[in-house]
C-alpha cells in the first residue's frame, strides 16, 4: 500500500525519473516555458522551485549543488544570471501551470509550465493596477463614510446662506 507516499513515480525508475526531471528543468530554465503532461508539470514544479531558490544565493557551493541536479552548464549560467535577477524579490512560487486540454494522439492531459516573472502578458496587467489591493473587510463601509464626510460640510455651508435672505 502507498500510505503517505506523495511521490508521483511517473511510471519510471528513480534514475530515469531524476534524469527526466533534470532535462525538463533545463528546458524550462532555457526557454522559460514548456508544454508537457500535467503530471510531469506538477512533478517538475517540486523539482525546479528549490533549485531556483538556491540560485538567489550566487555562490560556488550553490552552483555545484544545482549542477548536481541539472548537469547542464548553459542552464546553470541562465539560472544564476537572468533568472536569478528577475526572481530576486519573490519569496517563492516561481512557476505557473496552465492546463491546455487533452493531446489528440493519446488523450493525455497537457499543461504549460512557465516561469512567472518571464510572462509579459500578465505583467502588463499588473502595471495598470499598480495600487495594492487588500483583502480586509470594511472597504465599502470606509468609502461610504468618506462620502458622508464630504457631503456633510457642503450641507453646513449651504444652510447659513439660505437663512440669511429669509431673516
In a domain, 63, yes or no: yes
| Whole-number pLDDT of residue 148 | 63
What are the φ and ψ backbone dihedral angles of 10, each rounded to 5 degrees? 55, 25
Same domain, residue pair 72 and 153 = no
CATH code assigned at 69: 3.90.1030.10
In a domain, 62, yes or no: yes
Q: Which residues contact 13 (CB under 8 A, 6 or more apart)?
A: none
What's the mean pLDDT in 102-128? 85
Q: Is the pLDDT of residue 94 over 70?
A: yes
Higher model confidence: residue 95 or residue 129? 95
Higher model confidence: residue 112 or residue 159? 112
Same domain, residue pair 35 and 113 = yes
Same domain, residue pair 110 and 143 = no
| Whole-number pLDDT of residue 83 | 95
Same domain, residue pair 26 and 81 = yes
| Whole-number pLDDT of residue 121 | 81
Q: Is the pLDDT of residue 134 over 70?
A: no
Same domain, residue pair 115 and 141 = no
- The per-residue pLDDT of the chain, averaged, comes to 85
In whole angstroms, what is the distance from residue 164 CA to residue 166 CA? 6
Question: In this prediction, what percent of the chain has a pLDDT beyond 70?
Answer: 73
In a domain, 151, yes or no: yes
Window from 53-62, 73-82, 121-130, 151-160 with minimum mean pLDDT: 151-160
In whole angstroms, what is the distance from residue 35 CA to residue 41 CA? 8
Domains contained in the chain, number: 2
CA distances from 36 to 7, 20, 66, 72, 142 (A): 18, 12, 22, 20, 47
pLDDT digit string, tens, across residues 57-89: 999 999 999 999 999 999 999 999 999 999 999
| Whole-number pLDDT of residue 73 | 96
In a domain, 125, yes or no: no
| Whole-number pLDDT of residue 2 | 86
| Whole-number pLDDT of residue 122 | 73
In a domain, 69, yes or no: yes
Same domain, residue pair 77 and 116 = yes
pTM for the full model? Answer: 0.72
Q: What is the extent of the structural domain holding 149?
A: 136-167
Amino acid at each position: 500500500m502507498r500510505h503517505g507516499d506523495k511521490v508521483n513515480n511517473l511510471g519510471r525508475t528513480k534514475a530515469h525519473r531524476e534524469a527526466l526531471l533534470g532535462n525538463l528543468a533545463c528546458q524550462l530554465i532555457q526557454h522559460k516555458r514548456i508544454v508537457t503532461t500535467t503530471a510531469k508539470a506538477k512533478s517538475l514544479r517540486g523539482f525546479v522551485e528549490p533549485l531556483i531558490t538556491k540560485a538567489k544565493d550566487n555562490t560556488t557551493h550553490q552552483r555545484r549543488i544545482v549542477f548536481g541536479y541539472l548537469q547542464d552548464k548553459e542552464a546553470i549560467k541562465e539560472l544564476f544570471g537572468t533568472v536569478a535577477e528577475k526572481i530576486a524579490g519573490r519569496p517563492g512560487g516561481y512557476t505557473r501551470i496552465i492546463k491546455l486540454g487533452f493531446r489528440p494522439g493519446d488523450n493525455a492531459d497537457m499543461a504549460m509550465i512557465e516561469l512567472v516573472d518571464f510572462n509579459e502578458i500578465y505583467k502588463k496587467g499588473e502595471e495598470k493596477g499598480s495600487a495594492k489591493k487588500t483583502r480586509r473587510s470594511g472597504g465599502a463601509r470606509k468609502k461610504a463614510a468618506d462620502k458622508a464626510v464630504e457631503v456633510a460640510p457642503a450641507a453646513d455651508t449651504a444652510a447659513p446662506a439660505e437663512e440669511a435672505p429669509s431673516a
